[in-house]
Structure 1
Amino acid sequence: MRLSFLEPLYAESGPFASVYLDTSRDVEQPDRAVALRWRRLRADLTRQGADRALLGVLEAAVGADAEVPGVHGQAIFAANGSLVMDGELPRPPAHDSARYSTLPDAMPLVTQHLPEIPYLAVVVHYRGLPTAETHGWVWVEAESGTWPASAVTPGERLHLKVAVATWHHSAVRLGPRLEAWARRTHADAVVVGGDEWAGNVLVRRLPHALREKVVRVGGPTPTDTGRALLEPQLGSVFRGRMAEHDLDLVNIFIGRRALGGPTTEGLEATVAALQRGQVAALLLNHPPASSLRLWTGPRPTQLALAEEELVSFGVRAPHEEPADEALVRALVGTAAELVVVPEEELGLDEGVGALLRYADHGTPA
């Protein structure tokens, strides 16, 4: 998983206010419910030392996703009296939270983006009989996205209306267009729903490489909900699955480890590699426990298991921070990727490892 979407967050200096709250619209008086949730979080931030100006910035952003229907959440980050990042969450947070700290609390946002699978969704509807003589229409809706974040932030959408009598020929012309779209968005899958006959016509006429990516789904296929196209079906298709790009990184790690190539395992060795900017991709079996702490300095590569280590590198007054906050900042600051891989797929020493950019057994300067 590439974390470049977090770069604006780390372009700012702290301290940061990080807010996660449920902003779902599936309840009675949703605006009132959101206001009550925010009131509790505002009081919590006040106790932690956030000033009135920062609270005002956050309050102006709370509920700004009111046009998103259904169940969802919001992540808001502010620093130095300014809004830094505001985004929708495809699921409400497990619990509302607000943290005022040196580093932004970004890991919950990252985990809401996992497994970050790019896809193309296609819905085909028609009215009439599947014969050339029928005077009817075929409607095609197609949308690109990255699951699960696209549930509330869907991508580009195509709308097409075709006469039933010309659907066979139109499907032939549509195939290369969809293939180019899938290639441009690096889609792992093409999820096709809607009418069986009209969908079969399209699938049989797709270019071979794209046809191999097709997953057919059933069930209701509304196209005007304001949410991702085929959202209910996407969950069943992608749940428990890893993105192909991440699987490639896992396989590279396994191959390198077997040959003694440039990899690390265990927290101490991986932190040392992050200090050197040596990590191309950090692999985790699960996000770090909330109790795990690391010592940090002002730069992304300044992190260590012990305060004395950072002091020996010339860092003045290191801060002890949650490990996940320090790790995410280090990954973003060194343009490294993150892969969360189930333990049954790849067991890692202490649940952590890394693919390295180069082999170097030296120590950080």
Structure 2
Amino acid sequence: MRLTFLEPLYRQPGPFASVYVDTSRDGAVGDPDAALALRWRRLRDLLVTEGADDGAITAVAGTVGCDAEIPGTHGQALFTAHGTLVLQGELPEPPGRDSARFGALPDTMPLIAQHAPEIPYLAVYVHYTGRHFLDAEGTVHVESEAGRWPLTKVTPGERLDERIPIADWPRAAARLGRRLAEQADRLDAETLILTGDTWARGILTRRLPPRLRDRVTAVDAGGAPRPGRGLLEHLLDRLFRGRLAAHDQALVGAFLTQRAHGGAATEGLPDTVSALQRGQVRALFLNERHRSASLPLWVGPDPVQLALTEGELRSYGVRAVRREQADAALARALVGTGAELVLVPAWFLQLRGGTGALLRYADAGRGHRDRLRA
């Protein structure tokens, strides 16, 4: 997973307020807005306790709950710096618990985790409306959405919506197939999930360009799409659960190959941190509940200034040293060095200490201490 969406956040010097809050309205007991206001007051008090300034409080307060138009369960991730909202992320699922932190580094790993597995896909729902197939007044209704799963649950992807008279459908399907192929190409979609009326979708499948036809997965719909949410959300949730994006699978494959040959790969937090210090990491792998998450790391002002101990970092000449949660320090280092992140289930790949890395080069090289100097 590429973390470019976090770059605007890390261009700020901090300190940061990081807020995760459940903003779901559906299913709430009583007044959902009143319940959200109460949760926000608790988070606000926590931010004040941690030293947040009035500007940070105001910036968050003006944004919490502004996603009222999104139905179903969901949440928000909000980040401020110096009284300005720097990044707002919609969460496909509510956070496990509401949380608020104020500190030198933003708490971005929970947001990153909700972007995973970030599978690029195209969903197409084709359904016939009419009394029977010989009904000249009937139409074929085609809805499609190109996006990255699971963000399209709450952040709509590129949509297409067409109603075509049944008499024109065989001819129009070829034109529509070309449009769908263009839509898939723009996103580099791994798969086209096709569902709906068997007759209508069969005609569309046969008229898709070959490069897209080979990626079709035809399934039963199991219900009409829900307005305001990702197209075929429940169906996609079933299909994609526990799956890695093809790009991430390729990175895992490269890691396993390099590890087997003693090449450009490393495992465990100490060696991974050492590689991050040198800007050597191409992709970081973390098991979902990696043991390093609760450990502290010592960091300096620069993203590659991180170490397991304060003494190590000071030995490189870094003076402004502080302790941070490992997840926060690792996320900043990845964004700062342009490395990728793969959250991989332990059943798929068990990593020593829950941490590993595919490296850009095998030789550690020289001069990493120079890069660490303040």
CA distance in 2, matches of 1:333, 1:31: 38
Q: What's the secondary structure of 2:62's corresponding residue?
A: helix
CA distance in 1, matches of 2:126, 2:106: 43
1:189 equivalent among 188, 191, 200 = 191
Structure 1 residue 287: Cα displacement: 4.8
Which position in structure 1 is the counterpart of 2:164? Answer: 162
Q: What's the secondary structure of 1:45's corresponding residue?
A: helix
Structure 1 residue 355: Cα displacement: 1.1
1:241-280 alignment, distance < 5 Å:
241-280=243-282
CA distance in 1, matches of 2:54, 2:290: 32
1:1-365 alignment, distance < 5 Å:
1-26=1-26, 27=28, 28-128=30-130, 129-131=132-134, 134-223=136-225, 225-289=227-291, 290-362=293-365, 364-365=368-369
Contact residue 3 and residue 338 of structure 1 kept, 8 A: yes
Deviations 1:119-141 (CA, angstroms, capped at 9, x unpaired)? 1011111123334x733111111
Structure 1 residue 246: Cα displacement: 0.2
Structure 1 residue 224: Cα displacement: 5.8
Calculate the aligned-residue CA RMSD, in Å: 1.5
Q: What's the secondary structure of 2:142's corresponding residue?
A: strand
Contact residue 221 and residue 232 of structure 2 kept, 8 A: no
Contact residue 21 and residue 97 of structure 1 kept, 8 A: yes
Q: What's the secondary structure of 1:87's corresponding residue?
A: strand
Structure 1 residue 223: Cα displacement: 4.3
Structure 1 residue 37: Cα displacement: 0.6
Letter paired with 1:69: P
CA distance in 2, matches of 1:38, 1:174: 46
Structure 1 residue 269: Cα displacement: 1.0
Q: What's the secondary structure of 1:61's corresponding residue?
A: coil
How does the TM-score come out when normalised to structure 1?
Answer: 0.96
Contact residue 258 and residue 265 of structure 2 kept, 8 A: yes
Q: Which moved more, 1:185-194 or 1:284-293?
A: 284-293
Structure 1 residue 332: Cα displacement: 0.4
Letter paired with 2:12: E
Which position in structure 1 is the counterpart of 2:372? Answer: none
Contact residue 222 and residue 229 of structure 1 kept, 8 A: no
Q: What is the aligned residue count?
A: 364
Contact residue 295 and residue 306 of structure 1 kept, 8 A: yes
Structure 1 residue 144: Cα displacement: 0.8
Contact residue 290 and residue 353 of structure 2 kept, 8 A: no
Deviations 1:127-184 (CA, angstroms, capped at 9, x unpaired)? 23334x7331111111111111110001110111111112111112222221222121
Structure 1 residue 260: Cα displacement: 2.4
Gaps of 5+ in 1: none
Q: Which moved more, 1:302-311 or 1:251-260?
A: 251-260
How does the TM-score come out when normalised to structure 2?
Answer: 0.93
CA distance in 2, matches of 1:255, 1:137: 52
Letter paired with 2:119: I
Structure 1 residue 186: Cα displacement: 1.2
Percent of pairs identical after alignment?
A: 57
Q: What's the secondary structure of 2:294's corresponding residue?
A: coil
Structure 1 residue 333: Cα displacement: 0.5
CA distance in 1, matches of 2:196, 2:71: 22
Letter paired with 1:352: T
Deviations 1:51-95 (CA, angstroms, capped at 9, x unpaired)? 222111110111111121121000000111111111210000000
Q: What's the secondary structure of 1:311's corresponding residue?
A: helix
Contact residue 297 and residue 308 of structure 2 kept, 8 A: yes
Gaps of 5+ in 2: 370-374
Contact residue 119 and residue 187 of structure 1 kept, 8 A: yes
Runs of 4+ in 1 over 6 A off after TM superposition: none
Contact residue 287 and residue 324 of structure 1 kept, 8 A: no
CA distance in 2, matches of 1:214, 1:57: 45
